[in-house]
Structures are given as C-alpha cells and as structure tokens.
Amino acid sequence: MAGQALPGGQTAPPNINSLAAQGIQGAGMGTVAGGTYNPQQVTPGQLSSTNLSPYMNPYTDNVIKANEADILRGANIGLGQLGAQAQAANAFGGSRHGVAMGEMGRGVAQQLAQSSAGLRQAGFQNAQQMAQQDIANSMTGQLANQQAGLTGNQQRLGAANQLANISNLGFGMGQTVSNNLALQGAQQQAMQQALMDAAKQQYQGYANQPATSLGYVNSALGATPVPQSQNQVTSKQPGLFDYLTLGAMMK
C-alpha cells in the first residue's frame, strides 16, 4: 500500500496496520496453497507395454540379406569344389556325390538359419536395452520433477511463514505507534484543559473586578458595614466619607 501524495510532492508514510493486515492475509493464503499442494505422480514404465519398433535397427534386414548372400556364395563355391573332386574320382553324379551335396546343403541351410536368428536376436536385445534405458531416464526425470515440486512448495511455505512473522512485527509496531499517539493525544487534551481552566479563572477575575474594586474603595474611605440587630443601638466609627458629607452640609 503506497503512501498518499501530499502537497509539495511529499508522500505520507503508509499505514503500517493496513500493511500488516495485508501481509497476514497473504501469509494465510500461501499457507493454504502449500497445505493443499499435491506432488507430481510418478508412473513407472513397463517394458511389456513398450513399443520396440522405434528401437529396432532399420538396417537389420539388409544385414541379414547380405549375410545370407555371403553364405550362399560360399556354399556355391563349396559345391563347385565338391563336384570337381567327385569328377576327378570318377564319382560325379554317384551316390556318394549326392550324399555329400545333401550334407553340404543341410549345413548351408542351418548356417543361414542360425545366422539370421542371431542377427535378429541381437537386434531385439539391443532394442530392449534402449527401451529400458529410456524407461529408467523417464523414471529419473519424474522423480526429479516431483522433488523439485516438493522443494518449491517448502520454499513457498517458508516464505509464507516469513511474511507472517514480518506482518506480526509490523502489527506490533502499529500497536506501539497507536499507543504513543493515544498517549500524546491525552497529553494534548490535558494541556488544552489546563489552558481552558486558566482562561476561565482569568475571565472570572475580570467579571468580579467591579465588586472587588468597590471593596477597595470602601476600605479607602473607611466605610465598614456595621451589622444591626433588634434591641441594640447602631453605632459606627466616622470615616473620611462622613467628614466629607458633613463639610458639604455646612456650606
């Protein structure tokens, strides 16, 4: 709450009680928000539900085909050598030649199957490893985000508590200022009452001045009131006024 503008470009100090009330309200809202905070949920990934297609080597089939071509080319070379040997032994096309060719063909087929299965198995295992690594990275990231959220919430609660402490301090200062102002007002009121009482006494002195002055004149003239009572002869001591009156009558 900013201070109000005063004439001459000056700014009045802000109301510390209003600032303290605003601070306490803000601290309360921050505490409520921190108390209702829900941390981020962590969901672990499952390899069984993970699509491994993006992790498969797109060149696996090309590698398998190239390997098969190499095996077949080697098999053809072997068959050619086998035929040459059989022909040199005058056994080309015989039973022994046929058995040898069958064994070679079975070995080639087995080699092709094992080689292809091995390459595909290696590609699948590599895809699994990469998928598991991504699952672990995702889990680590979720845990880090959860911890960051909890830390941030603790910081907000700490800030709300600090704001509440500052507001309470400001409220105490406001109370002190209010008490000081009340004491100052009481002192000013007592001073004004004393001035009013003195003025009243002075006015009463002015108002009673004629009667007081008459008493002074009577004392100067020597006239003093003499009480009278029944069955008692009134007498008085002649004064200056009496002599003046007697002199005027003799003229």
Q: b or e along 35-51 (b: 16 or more beta carbons within 10 Å of the residue's beta carbon)?
A: eeeeeeeeeebeeeebe
Q: Which pLDDT value is given to residue 119?
A: 82
The string of pLDDT tens digits covering residues 97-146 is: 666 667 776 777 777 777 778 888 888 888 899 999 999 999 999 999 99
Question: How buried is residue 111: exposed, middle or buried, by Cβ count under 10 Å (0-12/13-18/19+)?
Answer: middle
**CA–CA separation, 25 vs 37, rounded Å?**
19
Phi and psi at residue 61, in whole multiples of 5°? -65, -40
Its sign, for the CA torsion 120, 125, 131, 137, is: negative
- Residues 142, 43 contacting (CB under 8 angstroms): yes
Q: Which pLDDT value is given to residue 131?
A: 92
Q: Which pLDDT value is given to residue 134?
A: 92
CA 116 from centroid of its chain's CA atoms? 62
Q: Which pLDDT value is given to residue 1?
A: 47
Nearest Cα neighbor of 163 from 153, 173, 171, 151 is: 171
- Altogether, the residues listed in the chain come to a count of 251
Instruction: Collect the ranges in the chain with pLDDT lower than 50.
Output: 1-2, 233
pTM of the model: 0.43
The SS3 assignment for 165 reads helix
Q: Which pLDDT value is given to residue 135?
A: 92
Residue with tokens 């004064």: 239
DSSP code per residue over 218-248: HHHHT-------TTS-------HHHHHHHHH
